[in-house]
Amino acid sequence: MSSLPESEVDRYSLAGTSTTSFTPSMSSLWYREREGIRFQVVNEAYFYPVGEEHLQIEDLWDLIRAIKYYDGPGRCFPKALEPLLNELLSKRDAQVLDVGSGLRAKWVVDMASRWPSATFVAMDLLPPVETWSPPNCIFEIADCMEGLQYQDASFELVNHSWLSWWLPDDLSYAKLVDEVARVLRPGGVLLLSEFSNEVVPEDGTSLEERYPTMAEFQVMNRAVALAAGSRYLTDVDLVFDRVLRDSGKFTDIHVSRIDAQIGERGVDPEKDQAGQYSYLMSTCGFHSWMQVLAGGAPEETQRMDGGIKAELETTRECAPGKGVKGSGVCVWARRI
C-alpha cells in the first residue's frame, strides 16, 4: 500500500490540532493539494472521510443494493445467480474474494454466514473496524492496484461493489479485471455493483435549473476526483460492459442498468423504501464530500452543505418522475 509523500501532506484534525496517524474510527483529516485543489485523503489511493458517516453510508448502500440491485431486501446477489452460486460455493475448498470490501465488509459477512463451508476473503486498503464476522472470513489489507496477491485459479467468486470510483480510469480497471480473471477458476463468477458519481433529474431537465447547488457541487466533485487521481463515473453501464468484453476472458456477461430515485414518490412500497435510504445516503454522502472539500473555504463549504440539504429535501416527496435519481449497474459474468 502506498503512503503519501511527506512533502505533499499537511496534517490537520477537525479541531485544528495536528495528527500523525490514521485509524478508521477517528475524525482526523489529512489534506493534499494538487492542481490548486485541496482535498482530504486517507492515503495515496483513497480520499473520503472515514468515520461514523462512512459506516452509515456503507450500511445504507447495503440496503439500497439489496432492493435495487439484487432483487429484494436482505439479498447479496441477483436471484438469477442463486442456482450457480449454490453449485459453486457448496463445493469443498470453495473460495470467494471481495475487493474493496469496506470497513465492515458487510457483503462478506452476510455471504459467509450463508455458505459456512466456503472461505471468504475481505480485501481492502483500510483496516476493518471491529465487527462480528463468522469464522470463515479472512480480512486482508492490500491495494488492488498493485495486483491481487493470490494464486491463479483460486476463487469461485470475485465481487466488487462501489470500488471503482477510486480507480483512476478504464485502463486501471481493465488491469484489475485481468487480475480478477487470473485468480478466478474457469467457470467462476465475477459479480459487481457500481454506481455513477452524478445525480440527474428524473425528467431529463437540467440539474442546474432546479438544483443549482447540487450542480455546483458536482463540478467541484469532478475536479477533486480528477485531481486526486480517481475517476468520475458517469456512463456506468457502458464502462463495465466494455471492459469485460474487451478482456476476452469472460462469457455469459449480464449487465443491468439501475436507476434509483432519491426520496419517496408514493408509487411502490419497496421502491419508496429504497428511495428513502437513497435520500439518507445522499444527505450523508454529500455532507461527507463537503468534508473532503473542506480544505477549500469553510464558509463556502457551509453554504453548499446547507444548499444541498435544502435541495435534497425538496426532492424527497415530489411527484413521481419529478425528482432526482442516481444510476448504477449490476454485472455478472463467467470466467472462460
Ligand X SMILES: C[S@@+](CC[C@H](N)C(=O)[O-])C[C@H]1O[C@@H](n2cnc3c(N)ncnc32)[C@H](O)[C@@H]1O
Q: Which residues bind ligand X (CB under 6 A)?
A: 45-46, 58, 61, 100-103, 124-126, 143-145, 161-163, 166
| Length of the chain (residues) | 336
Cell numbers representing residue 19 in the block: 495528527
Compute the least distance from the CB of residue 78 to ligand X, in Å.
15
Q: Which is nearer to ligand X, 145 or 304 (CB)?
A: 145
Distance from chain centroid for Cα 147: 19
Q: Which is nearer to ligand X, 31 or 173 (CB)?
A: 173
Q: Which is nearer to ligand X, 158 or 318 (CB)?
A: 158
Residue 309, CA distances (Å) to 133, 212, 284 in order: 35, 12, 10
Compute the least distance from the CB of residue 266 to ligand X, in Å.
28
Compute the least distance from the CB of residue 145 to ligand X, in Å.
5
Compute the least distance from the CB of residue 318 to ligand X, in Å.
27
Q: Which is nearer to ligand X, 40 or 101 (CB)?
A: 101
Which residue has cell 442498468? 257
**Cβ neighbours of residue 160 under 8 Å, at least 6 residues apart?**
98, 99, 100, 176, 192, 194
Q: Which is nearer to ligand X, 233 or 318 (CB)?
A: 233
3-state secondary structure of 13: coil
Residue with nearest beta carbon to ligand X: 102
Compute the least distance from the CB of residue 41 to ligand X, in Å.
12
Q: Which is nearer to ligand X, 105 or 318 (CB)?
A: 105
- The CA distance from 236 to 170, in Å, is 11
- The CA distance from 53 to 49, in Å, is 8
In our burial notation (b when 16+ CB lie closer than 10 A, e otherwise), range 124-157 reads bbbebbeeebeebbebeebbbbeebebeeebbbb
Compute the least distance from the CB of residue 6 to ligand X, in Å.
21
Angle, helix 52-64 to helix 106-114, in steps of 10 degrees: 50
